[in-house]
Amino acid sequence: MTISGRMTTIQTIRDDFSLLDEWEDRYRYVIELGEALPPFPDTERTPANKVPGCVSQVWLTTEQGLGADPVISFKGDSDAHIVRGLVAIMLALFSERPASEIRETDAEATLKGLGLDEHLSPQRANGLRSMVKRIKRDADAALKLTA
């Protein structure tokens, strides 16, 4: 995922957020992050990939590497612009990381650091928690498969 020709990492998102003083600018930036997500295939919009607990529709797919602590890649999408941006933030935080690191990552602290925790509706916050729960469940499963 790239914005303005550069790879979007969680650190890039943190840096960009620090430059944006107004919440409305951050809101637009989150939407831009969602727009930068690669296309999500219609064939992956299945009940198995749908994240329960989200008001908007959210889909996540998981690809697991090999080894005792496999690197896990996630792809995702949503039918709502702002939620799609939140999916992009979660992918920047968790995707392409070892399963053990995913398990140890504190998503709530990251969201708080970005100031998102105070600007999300309770429904969106619950949806984000559902996404994180799904991602961590997949990391747990990857570690158990290799144990």
- What CATH number corresponds to the domain at position 133? 3.90.1010.10
Sorted by sequence, the CB contacts under 8 Å of residue 3 that are 6+ apart come out as 12, 32, 33, 36
The active-site residue out of 54, 92, 116, 142 is 54
Give pTM, 2 decimals: 0.91
Q: Which SS3 state, helix, strand or coil, does residue 54 take?
A: coil
Judge whether 54 counts as a catalytic residue: yes
**Regions in the chain scoring below 70 on pLDDT:** 1-7, 146-147
What pLDDT, in 10s, does the model give residues 91-106? 999 999 999 999 999 9
Domain ranges, residue 40: 2-146
Query: For residue 147, what pLDDT is reported?
Result: 57
133, 25, 21, 3: CA torsion to nearest 10: 70
Q: How many domains does the chain have?
A: 1
